[in-house]
Amino acid sequence: MEVNPFCLALSAPIFEARGRAWSCNRSALMTSHLIMEDAILRVKLAALKSEHRDLDDAIEMLLEAPGKDQLQLARLKKRKLRLRDEIAEIEDRLLPDIIA
């Protein structure tokens, strides 16, 4: 039985296509799942980093503005800290510490 390349995205062990049975082995499914999860994390990481940079700009503009809104400034800084924590968490998941 051949391994169908489309099975990498499926969770079922057998996939029928045009009267042919294709086998999906567990390791191929796990590898596919990990690759998809990794890609999703990288997209989310890029979005969080972009938002973090945008908050930098917004905070800088707010600091330069006359009559600063201290409450808004505090909220933006807290959001920036939460983003930094999320970014660090995702980076840790993507690049785990390996003790050699």
Q: Is position 20 within any domain? A: yes
**pLDDT tens for each residue of 45-54:** 999 999 999 9
Is residue 41 within 8 A of residue 94, CB to CB? The reply is yes
Q: Cα angle vertex 70, ends 66, 74, to 5°?
A: 135
For the chain, first and last CA: distance in Å? 39
Higher pLDDT: 48 or 32? It is 48
**Residue 56 falls inside a structural domain:** yes
99 assigned to some structural domain: no
> Residue 90: inside a domain, yes or no?
yes
Where is pLDDT greater, at 65 or 14?
65
**CA 30 to CA 35: how far, in whole Å?**
9
Residue 77 neighbours by CB distance under 10 Å: 13
Tokens of 96: 């785990």
Structural domain range at position 56: 5-94
Structural domain includes residue 100: no
Is residue 59 assigned to a domain? Answer: yes
pLDDT in tens, 83-93: 999 999 999 98
Query: What integer best gives the mean pLDDT of the chain?
Result: 79
Assess if residue 69 is contained within a domain: yes
Which tops the pLDDT comparison, 95 or 99?
A: 95
Look up residue 76 and give its two tokens: 């933006």
pTM for the structure as a whole: 0.65
Contact 24, 13 (CB under 8 A): yes
* Residues 4-31 pLDDT 10s: 444 444 444 444 455 555 555 667 667 7
Number of domains in the chain: 1
